[in-house]
Structure 1
């Protein structure tokens, strides 16, 4: 007696397998919220760019009427110190005002909850307090970051002009160094914020050139008039 060998064919759903494979092979999308970077990124880029442009413009302005390297370097150094202090104090006052506003709002929210009879457990209240404290702005940290960013930008023109005695070469090297730094700052801000690189770099570069040109031109005009 021979046994009958029966073959059973199990249908496979090719569409389901292909869809599953496709889903597995698809790269994960970048879910980073770049808008959260806007606050600290704006402060860092603004501080560095301000230090670069203002210090370079001061040095160009003095260089328009005085070819002495000592006068140009002292002017740039004074601009670095004064600008860093100004940025730090201004940021400290601004962030401290923001901190006062947020603390006052938190106090009002708690009073409203008490008036409505809303109660929370001590553990949950402690956790909420820790989270709120972490999210509060830090005036000292903001002031230090602003001063550091300004100094980082201001040191570029100072280093570029510190070791060159020849006036025309010094001015040329200063402009070239500032141009390169402006492009780098514009590129860095665009990359970190995921914005168009070329547009950001060109905008920062043209703004810096314009500031230096106006300072140099007006100082040259006033200096040549004998005022």
Structure 2
């Protein structure tokens, strides 16, 4: 009996700790991360893929380094502005909808419930913050293929280096987003990798085809 108690005690402590950890996971609402996670991951992935695809597309018909870098810079600036404006409009629409709903609820609530509604209003998503997050993460993502192209002189090595750098970054972003959102890591990584390779490959191939058939 004494030996049994010695074995049971650590097990009970372990079960208790596991239960407490499980309860903490359940208590934490991972959906609270969704707004910033969505804006951040979308911004970074779009920055990576659109800028890399643009550089690869231009590189399909123009082999000089300067042209590829200038196209990447243009893609970074234009994409960051587009992401910021799009996210601002999207989140503002969500903000207006939720605010109207809370205002309607306030008409039919007593004073004690109105304080709860005011607290909910403070937790509504910020359109400006979402816009800034999208623009910054897009720029960070776009810097990866841009810097990769900037430091490699040889044309063919440059294309390989850009593809490798983007693939590495996509793996990191895919794994990070999966861990933060408690989603399967490998599925997330494979999804963004395959999508990225397709985007770059299709852009390169179609631009190469257009360059060989269209006279400028």
Q: Which residue is 1:106 aligned to?
A: 102
Residues in 2 aligned to 1:147 and 1:186: alpha-carbon distance in whole angstroms: 19
2:139 is aligned with 1:120: no
Residues in 2 aligned to 1:187 and 1:43: alpha-carbon distance in whole angstroms: 16
Q: Which residue is 1:181 aligned to?
A: 169
Consecutive unaligned residues of structure 1, counting only runs of 5 or more, are 1-11, 114-118
Q: What secondary structure, in the 3-state scheme, does the structure 2 residue paired with 1:151 have?
A: helix
What is the aligned counterpart of 1:137 among 104, 111, 125? 125
2:211 is aligned with 1:223: yes
Q: Deviations over 1:63-89 (max 9, x none)?
A: 000011111011011001111000100
Q: Which has the larger radius of gyration?
A: 1
Pairwise CA distance, 1:20:
5.8
Pairwise CA distance, 1:171:
1.0
Q: How many residues align?
A: 208
Q: Which residue is 2:12 aligned to?
A: 23
Consecutive unaligned residues of structure 2, counting only runs of 5 or more, are none
Q: Which has the higher helix share?
A: 2
2:106 is aligned with 1:78: no
Mapping for residues 1-227 of structure 1, pairs under 5 Å: 22-26=11-15, 27-28=17-18, 29-30=21-22, 31-32=24-25, 33-113=29-109, 119-120=110-111, 125=114, 127-128=115-116, 130-227=118-215
- TM-score by length of structure 1 reads 0.83
Residues in 2 aligned to 1:13 and 1:129: alpha-carbon distance in whole angstroms: 56
